[in-house]
């Protein structure tokens, strides 16, 4: 049976977790003051970067040697200013001790964004210097703590190794082998996250689904320091992994319970525990 812990506390201090106890970290930090979901959430950009620095340090501590952390993020346009979040987060995690391994580009459907006020500037003024493109892309930054000892792991946990074999047909059909992944984002009409004046920009199930299959083994533990509505734990449970998530907004509790299916007896049986740090 899988075990999952949802901890309502600030992940800048993950005091509930032991050193090297996590096998994979997947998260998507609140996008810096994103106009529709997190407007004025942070007082300034330095505050945002300081929080990420603390998360990176704690992630390095709790992650097992050789293991992976994945951050879904992108540069953000706020009140006419573009913030280089991808570059800054890359430097932060490298400075925390991680090795930069890869960057996956998540491409949303072409029809997701039509001509906006930003790109429409060129239509109104068809001259040089009026070009401002709309963004259909997000980044998945992949870092590694040291190197993974494949031979030692296979020798010690051969059964786990064999049972976690990846379906190569799935890899080929959905083109996981490319640095561009085409995935449909969570569309507004299908979001359960917009309730009671709560707005959470959730990533699609497909994102943690691929990363969990590619970078962890059955029975291992996946961490999400910015759990939000609980997508990472939902998918971890589906893939027979354990999950730990940190979230500061306790109003999300009913949304998390709905997403992970606690009220649905047909869902896969698992043990869920909720903790509140004072």
CATH of the domain at 257: 3.40.50.150
Instruction: State pLDDT tens for residues 25-68.
Output: 999 998 876 655 666 678 899 999 999 999 999 999 999 999 99
84 occurs within a structural domain? yes
119 occurs within a structural domain? no
Instruction: State pLDDT tens for residues 174-195.
Output: 999 999 999 988 755 555 545 5
126 occurs within a structural domain? no
Domain assignment of residue 100, given as a range: 2-107+140-276
Per the structure, how many domains does the chain have?
Answer: 1
Higher pLDDT, 31 or 75: 75
DSSP 8-state class, residue 42: S
Q: Which residues pair with 204 in a beta bridge?
A: none
Pairing of strands 99-107, 137-144: antiparallel
**Beta-carbon contacts of residue 265 (< 8 Å; ≥ 6 apart):** none
Q: Which residues pair with 244 in a beta bridge?
A: 5, 223
pTM for the complete prediction? 0.89
Structure tokens at 22: 């996590």
65 occurs within a structural domain? yes
116 occurs within a structural domain? no
33 touches 42 (CB < 8 A): yes
164 touches 91 (CB < 8 A): no
Instruction: State pLDDT tens for residues 102-126.
Output: 999 999 887 555 556 677 788 888 8
């Amino acid at each position: 049976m899988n075990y999952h812990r949802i901890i309502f506390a600030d992940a800048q201090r993950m005091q509930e977790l032991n050193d090297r106890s996590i096998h994979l970290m997947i998260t998507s930090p609140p996008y810096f003051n994103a106009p529709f979901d997190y407007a004025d959430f942070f007082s300034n950009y330095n505050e945002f970067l300081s929080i990420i620095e603390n998360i990176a340090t704690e992630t390095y501590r709790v992650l097992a040697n050789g293991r992976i952390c994945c951050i879904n993020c992108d540069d953000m346009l706020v009140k006419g200013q573009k913030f280089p979040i991808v570059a800054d987060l890359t430097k932060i995690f490298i400075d925390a001790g991680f090795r930069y391994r890869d960057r996956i580009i998540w491409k949303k459907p072409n029809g997701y964004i039509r001509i906006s006020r930003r790109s429409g500037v060129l239509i109104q003024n068809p001259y040089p210097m009026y070009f401002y493109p709309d963004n259909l892309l997000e980044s998945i930054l992949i870092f590694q703590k040291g190197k993974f000892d494949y031979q030692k792991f296979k020798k010690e946990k051969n059964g786990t190794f064999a049972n976690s074999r990846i379906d190569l047909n799935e890899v080929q059909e959905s083109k996981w082998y490319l640095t561009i992944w085409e995935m449909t984002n969570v569309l507004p009409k299908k979001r359960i996250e917009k309730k009671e004046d709560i707005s959470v920009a959730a990533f699609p199930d497909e994102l943690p689904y691929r990363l969990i299959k590619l970078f962890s083994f059955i029975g291992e533990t996946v961490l999400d320091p910015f759990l939000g509505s609980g997508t990472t734990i939902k998918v971890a449970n589906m893939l027979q992994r354990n999950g730990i998530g940190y979230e500061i907004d306790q109003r999300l509790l009913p949304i998390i319970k709905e997403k992970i299916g606690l009220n649905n007896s047909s869902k896969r049986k698992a043990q869920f525990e909720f903790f509140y740090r004072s």
